[in-house]
Structure 1
């Protein structure tokens, strides 16, 4: 059994059992991957993948356990490399952050800039996607940190650290009937067409819960993953926008009227997550604290030592998170 074989089977799963795509991603040949996967199966005496002709169709029950352990082994190998790098080149390395558009556009720019200024030899990469895609990327080892509001709870193998609370805002055109109001009711909001986030993005579930509790059904006529896209369609008169408060700027959105929606919807909490097996480099601790000042090395290490995310939550009960 070789590490290369373990990497191959993990990457095959990461590429949805498409061996051709896996070969392209690993810059190797498709027959080479197929041959080494077969050799590993022969050595273990079990099938990792079920097949139909030359095509892989699913991961077998034995294969699921093997893949899970293979991920852990490869994660430990990466951790060994990280330990070596920490001692030889403490300010050199890479950092992969997976997040949503709202975080990338409104919460991270100044943090990214200050981080790059401090660590010019760290290669920083940002991947945007849906919250479930983000959490999955970190769970599979394709990213170091996941920053999102939704979906991180779906992955028990992630350490999830609460960073800040945030509220929603309603944006309308200046001539809209609601533009003169400082507060509106959920009933008023339900009477107008809404433009908001796609389900599963940026705290959208809290919006749906609020309407359900009021026994109302929102008239959602357009959804998008990007707050800037939502504001564009509000400007076109398509409907009222319901977006994160941080996504409304007095400078760039001076043609829109913002109405705070604090009393309509509960606060959402943005969290940052990483695999329990991750060896945190010094610059990674620094990134965590830049993003959320209360995430000191001591607090992060304390959270990592806890067995579950429920126990981690208890650490933050006495910490007052900022509100954005």
Structure 2
């Protein structure tokens, strides 16, 4: 048996048992993949897949055990490569971060800049996507670390830790009738045209849940991925924008005397927790750990290493352990 066979079996499972897609992903031929899988099954003495003709239909019970072992082998192989890179180049390499637009635009600039000062030979690669895509990129070893508010906890093979809390704010033109309201209500917002994020992004699910629980049906006239877009259309008078609070920090439009203002909405939609994610069992290079510490003072190296060493489904590190 060899690593090529393990990769072929693993990729076939990831590609929903579609050998054509598997061959494309691995830049090889479909007959070559089929032959390698059959040779591995023959050597192991068990069928990994149930077949219908030449097509793979499902993974067998012994195949499930084989998959778990292959997962460990491939994961440790990736760790060996990282360890080699760590000790061959102590202060150089690429930090790959998967994240959503809000984090990339408003949260990451300062810690990334601080990391570059400490490690000038380290380059940074930002991969933006939905929270689900962020999780997938970490699991597929495209990114060393993921950062998002939603979805990350749903993946058993990810270790996630809370980085920081934030709330939504309502943004509006300074001449809007609600600009002087000391404490907004859901009823007030439901009576106005609203501009907010698309459903999977930046805590939108909390906003929808709050209105639904009150039996209110708000009029969302525009949805966007980008808080800057939401603020732009709000400035044009299309409605009240609902954005993450970091989107108004240091924005001169919201300074005293500016044409825009904001009101806190945490009492309406609750607090959100942005989490950092690593692939379970992965080896983290020193500059990855340093970046995570720069991201949040709660995420110290001992806390991260403790969480990574905890078994899947075990007690691990709770939110209270990192101050949330």
Q: TM-score, normalized by length of structure 2?
A: 0.85
2:306 is aligned with 1:287: no
Give the conservation status (yes or no) of the 8 Å contact 2:162–2:319: no
How many Å apart are 1:281 and its aligned residue? Answer: 1.4
d(CA) in 2 for partners of 1:290, 1:243: 24
Q: 2:318 aligns with which of 303, 309, 313?
A: 313
Shift of 1:224: 2.5
Q: SS of the residue aligned with 2:180?
A: coil
Counterpart-to-counterpart distance in 1, 2:314 and 2:230: 33
- Tell me if the contact between 1:139 and 1:155 (Cα under 8 Å) persists in the aligned partners: no
Equivalent position of 2:125 in the other structure: 125
Residue number in structure 2 paired with 1:67: 67
Bigger drift between 62-71 and 268-277 goes to 62-71
Matched-pair contact (CA < 8 Å) for 2:161–2:319: no
Q: Residues 97-136 of structure 1 correspond to what in structure 2 (within 5 A)?
A: 97-136=97-136
Question: How much has 1:33 moved relative to structure 2?
Answer: 3.4
Moved more, 102-111 or 9-18: 9-18
Give SS of 2:160's match.
strand
Cα offset, 1:184, TM superposition: 1.1
Q: Is 1:296 aligned to 2:300, yes or no?
A: yes
**RMSD over aligned Cα, in angstroms?**
2.8
Report the alpha carbon displacement of residue 266 of structure 1 after superposing the two structures with TM: 1.1
Distance 1:18 1:173, change over 3 A: farther
Give the match for residue 178 of structure 1: 178
Mapping of residues 61-210 of structure 1, within 5 Å: 62-210=62-210
Change (3 A) 1:297 1:192: same
Aligned pairs, number: 319
Q: Deviations over 1:14-61 (max 9, x none)?
A: 455554554454444444334433433444455545666766565555
Q: CA deviation at 1:150?
A: 0.9
Deviates more, 1:260-269 or 1:200-209: 200-209
- DSSP-derived class of the 1:258 partner: strand
Equivalent-residue separation in structure 2 for 1:43 and 1:28 (angstroms): 22
Query: Secondary structure at the residue paired with 2:223?
Result: strand
Residue 220 of structure 1 corresponds to 220
Q: Which secondary structure does the structure 2 equivalent of 1:196 belong to?
A: strand
Is 1:272 aligned to 2:276, yes or no? yes
C-alpha deviation, 1:309, in angstroms: 7.0
C-alpha change, 1:89 and 1:129, in structure 2 (3 Å) is same
**Gaps spanning 5+ residues in structure 1: where?**
none
Supply the distance in 2 between the matched residues of 1:141 and 1:270 (Cα, whole angstroms): 21
2:265 to 261, 268, 279: 261
- Confirm or deny: 8 A CA contact 1:14 1:140 kept in the other structure: no
Cα drift, residue 78 of structure 1: 1.2
Q: After superposition, what is the alpha-carbon deviation per residue over 1:204-248, rounded to whole angstroms, capped at 9, x for unaligned?
A: 222223223333233333322222232333344433211101012
Moved more, 136-145 or 95-104: 136-145
For residues 215 and 38 of structure 1, the distance between their equivalents in structure 2, rounded to whole angstroms, comes to 58
Report the CA distance shift for 1:219/1:28 in structure 2 as closer, same or farther (over 3 A): same
Q: Report deviation, 1:256.
A: 3.0
